[in-house]
Amino acid sequence: MKPARSFVVSALISGLITVVPVYLAVLLLLKAMKSVLGLVSPFARLLPDWLPAANILALLLLLIVCFLVGVAVRTAAGRAARKRLEESLFSRLPGFSLLRSLTQQLTGRGDEKVWKPALVEIEDALVPGFIIEELEDGRLTVFVPSVPTPLAGAVYILDRERVHALDIPFTQAVSTISRWGAGSSELVAAMQGGQRSRDVERGELVAGAPLPPLRS
């Protein structure tokens, strides 16, 4: 009964994470189209009556505005203005920083030092997680997501020796978590490859020798 309940809750959360942003985006788009209908109405009268010209022109206008804003924020002045706006307004919104970080990671534009994929030693097991930050004493703050929902889980503060950073894309780690662990062999291989390279550099491991076992 408990596994079934956990599956239902996890599936529901995953669905909400996927559906809610799309639903909100559609609502905002429709509201914005309604706001600009008055601007395009004179031009819509020039087109045939059978054509929903007002809606088409409103959508085109919004797409053009989005395109121009996208071009503007790629300039130095635009990036500076966006940064000031985010720091003064958007960063105060709950969850904005988290969503921005995740979006940048998923699109490949995120800071590699944030949400770094890792395999974490929890008791006698290795679990997929993400390194969030490094503390002043050298320990690491690690987020361990629940399966199959990458945005829900637990936060741990662990010694560095128990956290094995992985040289893999952020999206690969998220994909493994969302697929109930399918593809974990690639995560383990990345961890072992990283350990072998570090040990060879320190002269503690001869190339081709087996890896030492994890601490109990």
Note the pLDDT tens digit of each residue in 36-67.
888 888 888 888 878 888 888 888 888 898 88
The CA-atom distances, in angstroms, between 205 and each of 115, 149, 202, 216 are 29, 38, 8, 20
Is a pLDDT exceeding 60 seen at residue 213?
A: no
pLDDT of residue 156: 93
pLDDT of residue 207: 45
In this predicted model, which residue has the larger pLDDT, 10 or 145?
Answer: 145
Of these ranges, 20-29, 134-143, 186-195, the one predicted with the greatest mean pLDDT is: 134-143
pLDDT of residue 216: 40
**DSSP H helix total and E strand total for the chain:** 6, 5
Mean pLDDT of all residues belonging to the chain: 76
pLDDT (mean) for 114-142: 89
pLDDT of residue 54: 85
Contact by Cβ (8 Å): 152, 146: yes
pLDDT of residue 76: 86
Count of CB atoms situated within 10 Å of the CB of 79: 12
Of these ranges, 65-69, 86-90, 207-211, the one predicted with the greatest mean pLDDT is: 65-69
Nearest residue to 144 via CA among 134, 157, 159: 157
pLDDT grade for 9, boundaries at 50, 70 and 90: low
Whole-model pTM: value is: 0.49
Residue 206 corresponds to which amino acid?
V
Residue 110 CA, distance from chain mean position: 9
Is a pLDDT exceeding 50 seen at residue 186?
A: yes
Residues with Cβ < 8 Å from 79, sequence gap 6 or more? 73
How many Cα atoms occupy the beta-carbon half-sphere of 210 within 13 Å? 3
Is a pLDDT exceeding 80 seen at residue 88?
A: no
